[in-house]
Structure 1
Amino acid sequence: MSEKEVPEKEVAEKEVAEKDWRGVGNEDSTVDATGNLILAGRSRRLLMSLVRPYRKQALLALAIILVDNLAFVAGPLFIAYALDHGISAAVDGNWAPLAWTVFGYIAFGILGAITTYTFLMVSGRLSQAILFDLRGRVFSHAQQLSLSFHEKYTSGRLISRLTSDVESLQTLLESALNDALSAILSIVSIAIILVYLDVPLALIVLAGFVPLVLVTRWSQRQQRAGYRRTRVAIAKVVVHFVESMGGIRAVQVFRRETRNNSILAVEDTEYRDATTSALRGMASYTGIVRWIGNVTLAIILVFGSYRVINGHMDIGVLAAYVLYLRRFYGPLDELAQVFNAYQSAAAALEKISGVLEEKPSVQAPTDPTVLDSARGDIDFDGVQFAYTADRVVLPEFSLHIPAGQVVAMVGATGAGKSTLAKLLARFYDPTFGSVSLDGIDLRRLDDENMRQHIVMVTQESFLFSGSIADNIRLGKPSATDAEVAAAAEAVGLTEFIATLPDGIDTDVRKRGGRLSSGQRQLVAFARVFLAAPAVIVLDEATSSLDIPSERLVQRALETILQGRTALIIAHRLSTVAIADRVLVMEDGAIVEDGSPADLIAVDGRFAGLHDAWELSSAGPTVSG
């Protein structure tokens, strides 16, 4: 089946999944031998931008780890001195060299303990500061992205970015960073000491690096690909969990638990297999590193013993060499673990940086026009709009709504009504043409300034956890308690609020679950009343209400619409009846335009809708 034959939603989801895999802004990306896209450049830029404000703390941590490394590598030198000089001096009755050697060994051990503790504290604070900034940056940026992004990029994916992906980076910063710095410094310093102690033996050690480099490059490719799969797989698990818990009523009513369990099993299996694959690569790498280290140590013991027997080196030097070699491959073993954490964090950073490099499709103006007060004149001038290249919703649309006029838009689903509402609320920008408020293109207005004058109320009427007063105050954060109470009274909430245990300070609970749909809608209208915009957009704001609730909302509507321009997307006759003007839409164009009474009289499309409404709901009629 070709892509054109795939349902539109499936194609869109495929595009989003591919975009989530690749990310955006990857101008410096490279492709490795397995064909996987490596976004190291973008991830590195993100990490550097996070660390840059904390350069001083990072330099302090580096200085501490340098001292810690000095304490770590000094031990075998004391042992070598004790074997070659301290013991022989003690045999002759001079215990001072041996005593100073033991004292120095203990002192450097204590120094190492202090520096390790201090480094962990400093690096811990540094990592938490970086993660705090990263979470805030992702959350803030996601809120600024346009509605088109959120309609494609599910909330579960964003949650995955802020949880599992950030946790991968946290593992790297909090523990692996300490191990990596210590290991690298130890390897470098020990390598220098090994060359200083005995060059022939050092050449044997360095020869072991040839297979080690090859193994490392192979493991890097394998693990990076595996951890990319884990990032995608865990995001699917989180998306499914969020969707299931968000729709738990439908899950239980339609007994979807078994089906959900099956879906989770498939997605969780994918995550398990991807993680197992990545861990298998890490286990192979660790095992090979240890094998190379043991083989090298065996060769050193044989060749070193030969040099001691022939008097080419002291026994204490060989003992120190063996100790250093154990400490040399020990850090390599730690680096294998760090490498595993790094691959996971790098894959996570790719996903996070992909979100951060998303640009809002609705761009803020570079030189905004400030509109202090608005009359409410609305103009759609030659507007064309398409969600995708093959999904043109508005071929060409023009409309003038004078200030103070209430316009209702009706028509079949897909006619373009909600699209017009989203354009007026500037959730989207027209592909061509313009939408203007008082003659000013909305694209020239700053978003905050525009939303002071245009407010949208949807069917959802989303309420946040908190009190009724808190939710009403969203319309005007600086509003006094008296203003909030007045807004509640204006839309008819006072009687209901009086029955609540804490009155207007009663917690509405999650998503307003303590309130009915009609009461939630009244709270939303109280916000609008408090915001006092010039233009109100209502997108099917009464479609889910029962008759008693609808009557309460209708009375509230009459209050908040007085003296304001309104664009109402409605299916209910009672909502249309309060409009000054009705527009009937079909295929993105206006096919009828007039007052409710005039359109009923001409026996056209609206008259047919009116008759259908009356038959289905026995609702009120519109008279002249």
Structure 2
Amino acid sequence: MPDEAGVRLRRRSRALLGSLLRPYRGRLAIASLLLIVQNISGLAAPYLISVGIDAGLPPLVDDGDGSVILAVAGALLAATLIEYVARRIYLEFSARITHGILYDLRRRAFAHLQRLSPAFHERYTSGRVISRLTSDVDALTDLLDGSLDDLVMQVLNVLAIGAILMVLDWRMGLLTLVAFPFLALVIGWFRRRSGPAYRRTRESVALVIVHIVETLGGMRAVQAYRREPRNDVLFGGLAGALADADRKVLRLLAVFVPSVYGVSAATTALVLGVGGWLAVNGSLQVGVLAAILLYVRRFFDPMEQLSVFYNSLQAATAALEKISGVLEEQSELTPPADPVPLPARNGRGRELELRDVRFGYRGDRLVLPGLDLTIPAGQTVAMLGATGAGKSTIARLLGRFYDPLAGSVRLDGVDLREVDEDALRAAIVTVTQENFLFRGSVADNIQFGRPDASRAEVEAAAAEVGAERMIRALPAGFDTPVGQRGTRLSAGQRQLVAFARAVLADPDVLILDEATSSLDIPSERAVQQALRTLLADRTAVIIAHRLSTVEIADRVLVLDGGRIVEDGPPTDLLAAEGRYAALQELATR
């Protein structure tokens, strides 16, 4: 019984390849025609040589008549020219097809990865994603750039040469076919063993890339904890596994290539021996024998080059399996089939509601065992609680980065699962403590919140969050490059830029998940002062450990184990002398 998983992988890979090739069917047909012309022109040479020997040499020797030889030479020159022109046009034509296919694949994979939910990216490491888009696509590039057209050319060679041999001398043609059973055994052996070997190589490459990406991405932690020796050991093990996988492939090639060469050499010797005997006895012309020997050599060239093609084919097959696996991934956040429009914006924000929401990152461990919460439009709510109480989980559900396992999250009464994604992202913006910045200037990163914003609007957003003075003090002001991941800015500066980005987006609902955690006290005070004005006409949810951040809230929620244990205005909770009051007392000590 065939391996069902393997069959499914191959079916999925073929479907992906078919979808990539489908838009280029017409151009592929033209490329195939060019290959046929090139093949016919290239195969004319041995036949023309036999004509020159058998029909051109006797009159030249006997009568000095070189007309046949000149005609043969002219035909050879014409065939060579046609082959050159066809080859050149084909290479330029096929290059456009190949690059178009690879461009489509990269765009499709990148767009799909962006559509997948955060849950996918949390379990599928960045190193594996990079491996899919780089080394795996490169493996497909190697196949399409050279190996595939070589294979087609060689298949045409085998079919054409087989027919030519039968026409030139059927006895020699049948003698050549004697090699086929031996070749079939060798090729079948190599095919069965090379697939798993090449697949292990691709898997090993991916693991090496994952380790490199994770180590370089966390270099500060690596150096801070002196993990370099340990990482060297881990990398050595992964690199060793890759080397072992490569050695297994090379051992297979070390058997396959000489075996094919041996069958080729033995067949050539057999044809030469039998053909020479027939020529001596006058039943085979010398020119024909010469042509047959040249054709036999070309007949086996594809077999010897098959190992090179198999190398590219197996690597590309394994790569297609990996890429198709990523493209088959479905986002846990299903877009609505028939989106429900949100009510018109009223300038006071929007109402948020969680109805009997149950959620856990793992099905057997609920972070929120059953939460009911309503936040009226325009209200600013602060959430407090110990680590793991469920504060950030609520923020992620409100921003629809996850869907609840049960219950619903609603915006102005509409379930978030029924809201168009663009409308949802315009209505709700989340600022987290990660404050990720992209390569570019400070202004570029603020404008990320609304790409069509003018420079004046960008600067106004920075001023509203108290970041303008800080930004203008940078070497190039708003045009200062932030570096990779914003490394040229301090953590506090990155948070201010990220906050200005959210303000520029002008959402109805603003969620701040530890968004002021990296600010110093003066910066935090400035942001709080700005927030009093900014949050007056929108709904806001503020998650913080610092109690000073709670001062601007209309309402405070204290959470414990995914449940609300205290709820009310800050002054009322202080007077109640409960958990919030105890936290305030601890903060003032």
Do Structure 1 and Structure 2 share a fold, with TM-score over 0.5? yes
Q: CA deviation at 1:37?
A: 6.1
1:89 equivalent among 41, 53, 59? 59
Residue 52 (structure 1) aligned with residue 26 (structure 2): no
Residue 482 (structure 1) aligned with residue 456 (structure 2): yes
Residue 536 (structure 1) aligned with residue 510 (structure 2): yes
- Which aligned pairs between 1:263-278 and structure 2 lie closer than 5 A? 263-278=234-249
Q: CA deviation at 1:519?
A: 1.8
Single out whichever of 255-264 and 166-175 deviates more from structure 2. 255-264
Residue 597 (structure 1) aligned with residue 571 (structure 2): yes
Aligned length: 585
What's the CA shift string for 1:225-256, capped at 9, x where partnerless? 11211222111111111112112222222222
Residue 373 (structure 1) aligned with residue 373 (structure 2): no
| Distance in 1 separating the partners of 2:183 and 2:586 | 79
Single out whichever of 460-469 and 52-61 deviates more from structure 2. 52-61
Q: CA deviation at 1:161?
A: 0.9
| Distance in 1 separating the partners of 2:175 and 2:9 | 37
Residue 341 (structure 1) aligned with residue 315 (structure 2): no
Residue 184 (structure 1) aligned with residue 126 (structure 2): no
Residue 465 (structure 1) aligned with residue 439 (structure 2): yes
| Distance in 2 separating the partners of 1:567 and 1:67 | 70
For 2:9, the aligned partner's letter is: L
Q: Secondary structure at the match of 2:142?
A: helix
Consecutive unaligned residues of structure 1, counting only runs of 5 or more, are 1-28, 616-624
1:98 equivalent among 69, 85, 88? 69
Single out whichever of 536-545 and 553-562 deviates more from structure 2. 553-562
1:281 equivalent among 239, 252, 256? 252
Residue 221 of structure 1 is matched in structure 2 by 192
Q: CA deviation at 1:613?
A: 2.5
Rate the CA distance shift 1:30–1:428 in 2: closer, same or farther, 3 A. farther
Residue 250 of structure 1 is matched in structure 2 by 221
Contact 2:127 2:209 in 1 (8 A): yes
Residue 201 of structure 2 is matched in structure 1 by 230
Rate the CA distance shift 1:506–1:41 in 2: closer, same or farther, 3 A. same
Q: CA deviation at 1:36?
A: 5.6
Q: CA deviation at 1:361?
A: 0.8
Residue 361 (structure 1) aligned with residue 332 (structure 2): yes
Residue 358 of structure 2 is matched in structure 1 by 384
| Distance in 2 separating the partners of 1:166 and 1:284 | 29
Q: Secondary structure at the match of 2:367?
A: strand
For 1:498, the aligned partner's letter is: R
Contact 1:525 1:556 in 2 (8 A): no
For 1:130, the aligned partner's letter is: I
| Distance in 2 separating the partners of 1:206 and 1:41 | 33
Q: CA deviation at 1:467?
A: 1.6
Q: CA deviation at 1:58?
A: 1.6
Residue 523 of structure 1 is matched in structure 2 by 497
For 2:117, the aligned partner's letter is: S
1:571 equivalent among 545, 557, 561? 545
Q: CA deviation at 1:287?
A: 1.9
Contact 1:68 1:116 in 2 (8 A): yes
Residue 326 (structure 1) aligned with residue 291 (structure 2): no
What's the CA shift string for 1:583-602, capped at 9, x where partnerless? 12222211221222222322
Residue 39 of structure 2 is matched in structure 1 by 69
Q: Secondary structure at the match of 1:391?
A: coil
The percentage of counterpart residues that share the same residue type is: 49
Residue 126 of structure 2 is matched in structure 1 by 155
Rate the CA distance shift 1:231–1:552 in 2: closer, same or farther, 3 A. farther
Q: CA deviation at 1:198?
A: 2.0
Residue 8 of structure 1 is matched in structure 2 by none
Contact 2:495 2:519 in 1 (8 A): no
| Distance in 2 separating the partners of 1:210 and 1:567 | 75
Q: Secondary structure at the match of 2:360?
A: strand
- Which aligned pairs between 1:299-310 and structure 2 lie closer than 5 A? 299-310=270-281
Residue 467 of structure 2 is matched in structure 1 by 493
Q: CA deviation at 1:430?
A: 1.0
Q: CA deviation at 1:294?
A: 1.0
Q: Secondary structure at the match of 2:537?
A: coil
| Distance in 2 separating the partners of 1:327 and 1:474 | 60
What's the CA shift string for 1:319-374, capped at 9, x where partnerless? 11111000000122222211211111110111111111111110111111222526
| Distance in 2 separating the partners of 1:55 and 1:347 | 24
Residue 103 of structure 2 is matched in structure 1 by 132
Residue 431 of structure 1 is matched in structure 2 by 405
Residue 374 of structure 2 is matched in structure 1 by 400
Residue 207 of structure 1 is matched in structure 2 by 178
For 2:534, the aligned partner's letter is: I
| Distance in 1 separating the partners of 2:338 and 2:264 | 64
Contact 2:350 2:412 in 1 (8 A): yes
Q: Secondary structure at the match of 1:612?
A: helix
1:450 equivalent among 424, 430, 437? 424
| Distance in 2 separating the partners of 1:95 and 1:223 | 54
Consecutive unaligned residues of structure 2, counting only runs of 5 or more, are none
Residue 487 of structure 2 is matched in structure 1 by 513
Contact 1:463 1:520 in 2 (8 A): yes
What's the CA shift string for 1:466-501, capped at 9, x where partnerless? 122211112221112221121111111221222233
| Distance in 2 separating the partners of 1:478 and 1:207 | 72
What's the CA shift string for 1:513-570, capped at 9, x where partnerless? 2222222212122122211111111111122333333333333433432222111221
For 2:197, the aligned partner's letter is: G
Contact 2:495 2:518 in 1 (8 A): no
| Distance in 2 separating the partners of 1:102 and 1:511 | 66
Rate the CA distance shift 1:168–1:216 in 2: closer, same or farther, 3 A. same
For 2:352, the aligned partner's letter is: I
| Distance in 1 separating the partners of 2:289 and 2:75 | 20
Contact 1:410 1:582 in 2 (8 A): yes
What's the CA shift string for 1:122-144, capped at 9, x where partnerless? 21222112111111111111111
Residue 555 of structure 1 is matched in structure 2 by 529
Contact 1:36 1:225 in 2 (8 A): no
Residue 9 of structure 1 is matched in structure 2 by none
| Distance in 2 separating the partners of 1:118 and 1:30 | 43
Residue 383 of structure 2 is matched in structure 1 by 409
Q: CA deviation at 1:458?
A: 0.1
Contact 2:335 2:417 in 1 (8 A): yes
For 1:354, the aligned partner's letter is: G
Q: Secondary structure at the match of 2:536?
A: coil
| Distance in 1 separating the partners of 2:287 and 2:488 | 79
- Which aligned pairs between 1:7-86 and structure 2 lie closer than 5 A? 31=3, 39-86=9-56
Single out whichever of 264-273 and 592-601 deviates more from structure 2. 592-601
1:585 equivalent among 544, 559, 575? 559
| Distance in 2 separating the partners of 1:287 and 1:415 | 67
| Distance in 2 separating the partners of 1:343 and 1:432 | 45
For 1:423, the aligned partner's letter is: L
Q: CA deviation at 1:38?
A: 6.5
TM normalised by structure 1 equals: 0.90
| Distance in 2 separating the partners of 1:544 and 1:217 | 63
Single out whichever of 289-298 and 195-204 deviates more from structure 2. 195-204
What's the CA shift string for 1:175-223, capped at 9, x where partnerless? 1122112111111100111111222222232231112223222212222
